[in-house]
C-alpha cells in the first residue's frame, strides 16, 4: 500500500512580498492558474487515491489548505503545533499514517516543486516502491541529474548500482552534501556521479519509525506517548509535548547516519521553485524577455520580472529589475539582489 506525504509547512520567505507568513508560496499561483500545492496533489492522484494522500502543515494554514484542497479528507491533514524542522514532522506523520494503513510505504514530497514530465515522476515512484517492498529496511531518494552549476541545492554522491528495475538504476548513496560554493558545485557537476537532492524519499512506515527510535530517541518517545492518548485528547497533548521534540532536519537527524540508503537518478524536469529566478525560468516571456504577470505595460524594457495584482504596472526604460506588487507593498529591486530577499525582508 503506497501513501503520499506532502510537506506544506514552509514560509517561502524568498518569494516575499507575495509570499507571507499568512500565505506562503505553496498556496500561491506562481506558475499558472493553480497553486503549488494544488499542482502537487493533482499530479499524485494519477497514482495514489486522495484517501491515501496526507499533508503535514502548521496550524495557521489548515483553513487555506481545506479551501484549496476541498477533496482532501479532514483526517489527512496532519497539524504541527509548532515548526520543528523535517525529522519530527515526518515521524509524526508516519505514526498517523501507520494508524490508518499499517506498515504502508510512503513517498514524501515537498509541496512547492515543479515537475515537467509528471508521468516519468510517477513511474520512478512506482519503481522506488517496488524496491522498498523487496528491501523493506531500505530508503530510496530521488536524485536529479544536474542541468547547471547550482549552489542553492544540496547534492547526493551516488555510488555503485545495486539493482535495476524497468531500466531504472538504483544506486547506493555514498553521502549527502550540503549546499556547496560555486567552485565545489562545478566539480560536482563535472564528476558525473553527483545529483541534486530534491528532498523526495520513499520508505516503509516501519523503517522511518525504527530509524527515528534509533537516532532521535527523544522525539520517538514523545510522539509514541502522544499517539497512545485517546482521540479526544490527541491535539491537546500533541500541542503540549511537540515543542520538546528534536529541532532537526531528516537529512541531519537520520539520512547521514542510516546505512541502507539508495538513490534513483532522475531527469523528469524537476526544479525547486525557491526564488524568483525559478519563476523566470518557467513563465512565458514577451519579445523583450520580460516575465509579465498581471496588467503590465513594458516600454523599452527588457529582462525584467514584473508581477502585478490589483493595479496596472508601467515600466519604462528599465532592464534586469524585478517589480512585485502584493496586497501591502510594491517591491522594486535589481534582479542581482533576488538572493538577498530574506535579508531585505528583515530590514524592512
Please determine, for residue 13, whether its predicted confidence score (pLDDT) is greater than 90. Answer: no
Query: Are residues 163 and 302 part of one domain?
Result: no
Query: Are residues 299 and 168 part of one domain?
Result: no
β-bridge mates for residue 77, sequence order: 55
Beta carbons of 60 and 15 less than 8 angstroms apart: no
**How many independent structural domains does the chain possess?**
2
Please determine, for residue 12, whether its predicted confidence score (pLDDT) is greater than 80. Answer: no
Query: Are residues 226 and 303 part of one domain?
Result: no
* pLDDT one-digit tens code per residue, 195-241: 999 999 999 999 999 999 999 999 999 999 999 987 788 989 999 99
207, 240, 271 - which closes a domain: 271
If pLDDT is split at 50, 70 and 90, which confidence band does 328 have? Answer: confident
Query: Are residues 263 and 312 part of one domain?
Result: no
If pLDDT is split at 50, 70 and 90, which confidence band does 10 have? Answer: confident
255, 271, 287 - which closes a domain: 271
* pLDDT one-digit tens code per residue, 129-151: 999 999 989 999 999 999 888 88
237, 271, 305 - which closes a domain: 271
Query: Are residues 317 and 185 part of one domain?
Result: no
Query: Are residues 287 and 202 part of one domain?
Result: no
* pLDDT one-digit tens code per residue, 232-275: 889 899 999 999 999 999 989 998 889 899 999 999 999 888 78
Give residue 193's domain range: 2-271
Please determine, for residue 11, whether its predicted confidence score (pLDDT) is greater than 80. Answer: no
The reported pLDDT for the residue numbered 73 is 96
Query: Are residues 160 and 264 part of one domain?
Result: yes
CATH number at residue 258: 3.90.550.10
Please determine, for residue 278, whether its predicted confidence score (pLDDT) is greater than 90. Answer: no
pTM of the model: 0.91
Query: Are residues 260 and 143 part of one domain?
Result: yes
* pLDDT one-digit tens code per residue, 284-320: 999 999 999 999 999 999 999 999 988 899 999 999 9
The reported pLDDT for the residue numbered 121 is 96
Q: Spell out the residues 6+ positions from residue 103 whose beta carbon is closer than 8 angstroms to its own.
A: 204, 205, 206
Amino acid at each position: 500500500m503506497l501513501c503520499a506525504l506532502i510537506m506544506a509547512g514552509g514560509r517561502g520567505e524568498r518569494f516575499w512580498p507575495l509570499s507571507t507568513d499568512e500565505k506562503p508560496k505553496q498556496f500561491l499561483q506562481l506558475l499558472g492558474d493553480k497553486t503549488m500545492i494544488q499542482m502537487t496533489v493533482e499530479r499524485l492522484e494519477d497514482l495514489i487515491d486522495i484517501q491515501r494522500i496526507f499533508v503535514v502543515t502548521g496550524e495557521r494554514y489548515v483553513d487555506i489548505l481545506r479551501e484549496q484542497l476541498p477533496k482532501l479528507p479532514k483526517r489527512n491533514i496532519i497539524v504541527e503545533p509548532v515548526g520543528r524542522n523535517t525529522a519530527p514532522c515526518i515521524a509524526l506523520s508516519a505514526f498517523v499514517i501507520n494508524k490508518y494503513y499499517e506498515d504502508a510505504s510512503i513517498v514524501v514530497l515537498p509541496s512547492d516543486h515543479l515537475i515537467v514530465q509528471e508521468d516519468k515522476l510517477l513511474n520512478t515512484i512506482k519503481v522506488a516502491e517496488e524496491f522498498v517492498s523487496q528491501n523493506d529496511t531500505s530508503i530510496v531518494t530521488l536524485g536529479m541529474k544536474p542541468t547547471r552549476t547550482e549552489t542553492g541545492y544540496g547534492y547526493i554522491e551516488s555510488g555503485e548500482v545495486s539493482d535495476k528495475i524497468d531500466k531504472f538504476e538504483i544506486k547506493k548513496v555514498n553521502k549527502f552534501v550540503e549546499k556547496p560554493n560555486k567552485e565545489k558545485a562545478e566539480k560536482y557537476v563535472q564528476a558525473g556521479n553527483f545529483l541534486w537532492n530534491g528532498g523526495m524519499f520513499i520508505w516503509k512506515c516501519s523503517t522511518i519509525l525504527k530509524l527515528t527510535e534509533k537516532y532521535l530517541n527523544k522525539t520517538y518517545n514523545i510522539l509514541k506517548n502522544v499517539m497512545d492518548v485517546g482521540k479526544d485528547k490527541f491535539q491537546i497533548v500533541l500541542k503540549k509535548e511537540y515543542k520538546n521534540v528534536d529541532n532537526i532536519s531528516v537529512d541531519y537527524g537520520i539520512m547521514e547516519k542510516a546505512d541502507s540508503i539508495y538513490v534513483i537518478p532522475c531527469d523528469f524536469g524537476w526544479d525547486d521553485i525557491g526564488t524568483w529566478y525559478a519563476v523566470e525560468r518557467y513563465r512565458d516571456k514577451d519579445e523583450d524577455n520580460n516575465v509579465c504577470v498581471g496588467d503590465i505595460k513594458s516600454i523599452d524594457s527588457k529582462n525584467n520580472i514584473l508581477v502585478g495584482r490589483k493595479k496596472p504596472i508601467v515600466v519604462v526604460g528599465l532592464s534586469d529589475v524585478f517589480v512585485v506588487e502584493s496586497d501591502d507593498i510594491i517591491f522594486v529591486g535589481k534582479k542581482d539582489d533576488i538572493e538577498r530577499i530574506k535579508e531585505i525582508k528583515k530590514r524592512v
